[in-house]
Amino acid sequence: MSTYEYVPEQPLIKGKHNFSSITALVGDLVEKPAPAGWYIAFGIAVTLLAVLLGSIGYLVWEGTGIWGLNNPVGWGWAIVNFVWWVGIGHAGTLISAILFLFRQDWRTAINRFAEAMTIFAVICALVFPGIHVGRIWVAYWMFPLPNQMGMWPNFNSPLLWDVFAVGTYFTVSLLFWFVGLVPDFATLRDRVKSKVGRIVYGIFALGWRGGNRQWQNYEKAYMILAGLATPLVLSVHTIVSFDFAVSIVPGWHTTIFPPYFVAGAVFSGFAMVLTLMIIARKIYGLSDIMSDDHIEKMNIVLMTTGSMVGFAYIMEFFIAWYGAVEYERFAFINRAFGPYAWAYWTMMACNVFSPQFFWSKKLRRSVGFTFFISIVVNIGMWFERFVITVTSLANDYLPSAWDYYTPTLFDASTYIGTFGLFFTFFLLFLRFFPMVAIAEVKMIMPQADPHYYDKHDHAEVNEKQTV
């Protein structure tokens, strides 16, 4: 029988921190003036937001004809961008809900702003189904409301399931985020100097005093919401994938879509969290909380989900061959070698090959390299949705109906504009919200162990346990 040596886990918080220094580290970011870079970034974000609003305004005025949509490609960038943004949101929920249920303590460093990212990404995603309908003033037809037409939305349609799936997802994510924020808002309420700040944070702190009863209720509520959010991580992108999989278009009608979309969503979401985290921790000096260990763990997730996505790409090809349906075979050969081969191989390079670098421990601990790959992955995941949507529509059953899809300037300006929307929200969040879950980080510090201050050593504790 061999013996194993107990290797204590690396402390999650680097540096010599105690409770008050953590509070000060995060709280000061809100209380002290913002760095100059913040104002520059905010200016750019608001400018891009104006571009988005302008593009939407012109779309409403002129109609969806300003986009590159035409027969046979009736679904273009709008759905590509929608799926891409919703996918990005998934990492936040995975980190906050699933990793919470699995007691992955390292999540506490990043869950707050990963959840913020989720909410803002879902807002960006929701822009597209809202505006793509053309007659935007009847967008409320998506909801089952009583009306003079005596009509209900088509409950057979996955597009309607989407409305409910994403709507539920947004609501639960927002609630989850807010519940987690309550104790930290209370901390800020007690720290900020200005009267207005105290009142505003006080309103959102909901009268939190940090009493025993409150903590007990809080932790139960948080657990329940984590339980509610967990199935949503899997269900939302499953239903998004149904938008494609339930149809009979070759290349879309595949049962592998739900798991493959969920893996892709988590993949792109983690890449986005990494991108944001690496910038934020550098600018705000949070490397003690969001350490290189976190980057390494997230890179492992990236590598795993990237490989799952790669497996799905290859499996699609296998099934197309094995299924022996002529149209299906053509759809996939056309993807890899047809008019959109450039998009396909961009996707393969970014999503399947690039995460494989993380087999190397050195590379997955390299901040610069991780940052680079995180951006590459998100480019790749955008192209994945582009390849799925466009190649299948551009070349389907009838060769006489084939055409090449080209986006217009307004497709691009709307997409770029959503970054303005996202970063406007995100920068406001960084400025006014506690960007790290202060209370939760404290729970995972060594000082939070009830025996931390014991004079007695570990021997006695172990004896008691063996009785």
- Tell me how many degrees the CA angle 156-162-166 measures, rounded to the nearest 5: 150
CA–CA separation, 188 vs 438, rounded Å? 10
Stretch that binds other proteins, among 46-54, 202-210, 247-255, 365-373 (CB under 8 A): 202-210
Q: C-beta of 190: minimal distance to other proteins in Å?
A: 8
Asked if the peptide bond before residue 434 counts as cis, ω within 30 degrees of 0, the response is no
Helix (H, G, I), strand (E, B) or coil at 191: helix
Closest to other proteins by CB, 146 or 211: 146
Let me know: does 440 contact 111? Beta carbons within 8 Å: yes
3 state SS of 418:
helix
DSSP letter assigned to residue 387: I
Both tokens assigned to 141: 């037809």
Give the binding range for other proteins (CB under 8 A) out of 106-114, 121-129, 140-148, 412-420.
140-148
Residue 205 or 439: which CB sits closer to other proteins? 205
196 part of the interface to other proteins, by CB under 8 A? no
Structure tokens at 412: 């691009």
Q: Does 462 bind other proteins (CB under 8 A)?
A: no
Residue whose CB is less far from other proteins, 54 or 197 = 197
Please tell me whether residue 211 binds other proteins under the rule CB under 8 A: no
- How many whole angstroms separate alpha carbon 91 and alpha carbon 98? 10
Contacts of 181 (CB under 8 A, 6+ apart): 112, 204, 433, 434
**138 is a contact residue toward other proteins (CB under 8 A):** no
Residue 379, classified by CB atoms within 10 Å of its CB into exposed (0-12), middle (13-18) or buried (19+), is middle
If binding is defined by CB under 8 A, does position 150 make contact with other proteins? yes
Q: Of 199 and 314, which has the nearer Cβ to other proteins?
A: 199
360 binds other proteins (CB under 8 A): no
Look at the alpha carbons of 225, 230, 234, 235 in this order and tell me if their dihedral is positive or negative: negative
Using rule CB under 8 A, residue 147 touches other proteins:
yes
Identify which of residues 146 and 450 has a Cβ nearer to other proteins in the complex: 146
Say if CB 109 and CB 289 are below 8 A apart: yes
Taking the CA atoms of the chain, what radius of gyration do you get in angstroms? 24
Stretch that binds other proteins, among 57-65, 197-205, 214-222, 227-235 (CB under 8 A): 197-205
Q: Which stretch binds other proteins (CB under 8 A): 77-85, 198-206, 245-253, 269-277?
A: 198-206
Name the token pair of 453: 């201050």
Please tell me the distance from the alpha carbon of residue 421 to that of residue 374, in angstroms, as a whole number.
21
Nearer to other proteins, 148 or 400 (CB): 148
Residue 162: is it exposed, middle or buried by C-beta count within 10 angstroms (0-12/13-18/19+)? buried
Q: Given candidates 151, 196, 248, 459, which one binds other proteins under the rule CB under 8 A?
A: 151
- Residue 103 vs 209, nearer CB to other proteins: 209
Compute how many residues bind other proteins; rule: CB under 8 A. Answer: 13
- DSSP, collapsed to helix, strand or coil, labels residue 338 as coil
Cβ nearer to other proteins, comparing 135 with 282: 135
Q: Under the criterion CB under 8 A, does residue 198 sit at the interface with other proteins?
A: yes
Q: Which of 8, 33, 146, 211 forms a contact with other proteins (CB under 8 A)?
A: 146
Name the residue nearer to other proteins (CB basis): 148 or 466: 148
**Applying CB under 8 A, does 206 fall inside the site for other proteins?**
yes
What are the residues binding other proteins (CB under 8 A)?
145-151, 189, 198-199, 202, 206-207
